[in-house]
Amino acid sequence: MAQLNAIQKSLLENIADLHEVPSGAYNIRSDGGMLGRNTTANIDIVTKTDKPGIDIIIKPGTKNQSVHIPVLITQTGLKEMVYNEFFIGEDCDVVIVAGCGIHNAGDEGSEHSGIHTFHVGKNSKVKYVEKHYGTGEGTGERVMNPSTEIYMAEGSHLEMETIQIEGINSTERRTYAKVEDGASIVIKEKIMTHDRQVATTDFKAELVGTGSSADICSRSVAKDNSKQTFRSNIIGAAECKGHSECDAIIMDHAIVEAIPELTASNIDASLIHEAAIGKIAGEQLIKLMTLGLTEEEAEEQIITGFLK
Partner 1 sequence: MLELKNVSYLVDDEDDGNRKEIIKNVSLTIEDGFVAITGPNGGGKSTLAKLIAGIYTPTGGQILFNNEDITNFSITERSKKGITFAFQQPVRFKGLTVKDLITIAAGGTLSFNDACGYLSEVGLCAKEYIDREINASLSGGELKRIEIAMAIARKTPLTIFDEPEAGIDLWSFQNLIHVFENIHDKAGGSIIIISHQERILNIADKILVLAGGEIQAYGPKEEVLPGLLKGTMTNPALEQDESLECPTLLGKMK
Q: Give the interface with partner 1 as residue ranges (CB under 8 A).
A: 219, 247, 281, 283-284, 286-295, 301-302, 304-308
- Least Å distance between CB 117 and partner 1? 32
- Closest to partner 1 by CB, 63 or 287: 287
- Least Å distance between CB 232 and partner 1? 19
Of how many residues is the chain composed? 308
**DSSP letter (8 states) at residue 307:** T
Q: Where are the beta strands (DSSP E) in 21-136?
A: 25-30, 33-38, 43-47, 53-58, 63-68, 71-73, 79-88, 93-103, 110-120, 125-135
Q: Alpha-carbon distance 62 to 83, whole Å? A: 23
Q: Alpha-carbon distance 172 to 200, whole Å? A: 5
- Least Å distance between CB 65 and partner 1? 28
- Closest to partner 1 by CB, 86 or 230: 230
- Least Å distance between CB 285 and partner 1? 9
- Closest to partner 1 by CB, 107 or 300: 300
- Closest to partner 1 by CB, 23 or 294: 294
Are the C-beta atoms of 224 and 199 separated by less than 8 Å? no
Helix H or strand E encompassing 288: helix 282-290
Taking the CA atoms of 276, 281, 283 and 288 in sequence, report the sign of the dihedral they define.
positive
- Least Å distance between CB 227 and partner 1? 22
- Closest to partner 1 by CB, 245 or 261: 245
